[in-house]
Chains A and B, each alone.
Chain A
Amino acid sequence: MSIDLASPPLIRARGLTKRFGAFTAVDAVDFDVAPGEAFGFLGPNGAGKTSTMRMIGCTSPATGGTLSVLGMDPATQGPEIRSRLGVVPQQDTLDEELTVRENLVIYGRYFGLSRAECGRRADELLDFAQLSERRDSRVEPLSGGMKRRLTIARSLINEPDMMLLDEPTTGLDPQARHLLWDRLYRLKQRGVTLVLTTHYMDEAEQLCDRLVVMDKAKIVAEGSPRKLIEQYSTREVTELRFPVGIQETLDGQLDGLAERIEHLPDRLLLYTDDGEAVAVAVHDRGLRPETVLVRRSTLEDVFLRLTGRSLVD
């Protein structure tokens, strides 16, 4: 499925702002999301991602700016917009007293679907979410990963034009995350527009065609993961970890080895286009780090460069 940049955007935000009293959660952000695109908000906790998502999802009125979702105005057409969205909230909102299948059926009823249609779609979605075997068990004892898959299945019951996923894999173990990513990737290939927030750079790289980096209520950069890395970082990074107490005594000894050096509390990041060469040069200068790791630049490096801080505290 390709991204349709010719059609009008599914979301258009200009100067979009959300204030709670004196606190500004989202500060005049601009962005567009095209049909078929997987679009991400990357940023640390408290950056304003969830507030932005809630405005898009028509469950929180904007304080300022303009917002159009699916060509409609959230202020006046909330129910019509929500009927075409699939929402996966940050916290699970499943009904733990009901069974897995009942959760899907009752949710479909909220969209005005007949019971028969809800049942038919529920069975399909249970298949998709790999939960068919658990269809009649109660939700409460399910694992975190299963609950997330059920939440995603539930959000698809109305065959949405666009999915809003707020931190879809936070709190899951790696295996559960990969399973979830696989399901989301399939949806993307079917042409479903995905809008997601995350503070995991690997998730953003895996899923997003394009993303904006948010920090302190503002958008600080925008582009594809590859473009952002090209623009704000080097091709490779050489990570040096020295024995405790040594890193602080190195001043000047690494000068000129890399384009840029970041000092983290536990290691040094040397930004360069040839990580191996830097590793050799470090050795040639007689420095003996405990570990040397050469890797590709990631969005984590982009974020560090843009904000001077790590994504995950």
Chain B
Amino acid sequence: MTAGIVEPTPNPPNAVSSPGPVIRDRPPAPSRLSAAARVFEHRAYQYRRIFGGSLFTSFVSPALFLMAMGLGLGGLVNAESPDAFGGVTYLQFLAPGLLAGSAMQVATFEATFPVMIGLVWGRIFHAMHATPIGPEAVAFGTLGWIAFRLTLIASVFTLVSALFGAVTSPLAILGIPAAVLTGLAFSGLIGAFMATQRTPDKFSAIFRWIITPLFLFSGTFFPVSSLPPAIQPIAWLSPLWHGVELTRGAALGTLLNHPLMALAHLTVLVALLFLGAALFVRNVRRKLAP
């Protein structure tokens, strides 16, 4: 055969039949769970390169915050009004608030840039969908990865808090899943929103108008009860407030004193996670399979 144009000619009837497509032994298309696990694995490959630095940051960042605000600012606060935080030091009050607040920030960040890279910039999610991987697996693999990251960060944070003496109860271990859940309650919704965007323009608006105010006014740094009474109910709308109530209850060992309240906080966060995940899947599907 020479290069160039070849006319298709039907095989003569008695010719040795040419091989059709070779049917190869192929692994079965992965199930949804294992498909999501592949997406998770992809993220792990990317993360491998920055793992050391990232782990270091997750130690240093809470240490700096707890030192400056918990010990520095806390020293003043404790001297001024020793009973302001219900019999615990400011450091002990602050640490679980920061834990939930950091989880929210990391979870939001992880649901913005990686989603833009996946759908718009590097179109990596599109590459995944050209394989047996479906949009659900892309979305759930991404959320699964965020959950993993949050677990790492919350564990390190809790360890650092303990080293600072900010942990007073063994229940503090429950603060880790509570922080992960708090973060995920944001990831699904933020990811769903970013999946509708073509540019990162709204990205800084999310941080400026949603994440930062929530971080400041959700009982993270001071009790919601010290806000003017008219504003207090607004704080209850904050998903972060529900998260902080859980992490703080865990760290101070008071979580089970009000089991119904704890259950209510949990329910709000789980509901947001389910809503966010459903919207995230829907919006990713719209982008990947228009």
Contacts and interface: CB of A to CB of B under 8 A. Distances in A.
Contact of B26 (A35, A83, A97, A191): A83
Contacts of B4: 205-206
Interface string B101-144: 00000000000000000000011101111111110000000000
B30 A112 contact: yes
Contacts of A82: 130-132
Contact of A210 (B8, B22, B127): B8
A95 B126 CA distance: 11
Contacts, number: 136
Given A57-B130, A59-B288, A60-B290, A97 B49 contact: yes
Contact of A2 (B11, B122, B132): B11
A185 B45 contact: no
Given A82-B130, A91-B123, A97-B46, A5 B10 contact: yes
Interface in A186-201: 189, 191, 193
B41 A106 contact: yes
Contact of A79 (B19, B29, B38): B29
A37 B6 CA distance: 10
A83 B11 contact: no
A89 B130 contact: yes
Interface of A is mostly: loop
B255 to A, nearest CB: 40
Given A59-B288, A84-B26, A91-B123, A79 B45 contact: no
Contacts of A2: 9, 11, 18
Contact of A37 (B1, B8, B17, B124): B8
Contact of B6 (A112, A161, A209): A209
A109 B11 CA distance: 38
A191 to B, nearest CB: 7
B79 interface: no
B11 A5 contact: yes
Contact of B11 (A4, A95, A110, A209): A4
Contacts of A224: 5-8
Interface in B60-104: none
A291 B157 CA distance: 77
B5 A205 contact: yes
B34 interface: yes
B123 A110 contact: no
B133 A110 contact: yes
A94 B122 contact: yes
A59 B131 CA distance: 10
A159 B25 CA distance: 10
Interface string B219-259: 00000000000000000000000000000000000000000
Given A61-B289, A110-B132, A209 B8 contact: yes
Q: In this complex, which of B8, B122, B124 has the most chain A Cβ atoms within 10 angstroms of its Cβ?
A: B8
In the A-B complex, the 4 residue pairs with the closest CB atoms: A112-B27, A93-B127, A110-B131, A79-B132
13 contacts: A3-B8, A4-B17, A79-B134, A80-B132, A82-B131, A93-B127, A95-B46, A98-B45, A111-B26, A112-B27, A185-B3, A205-B5, A224-B7
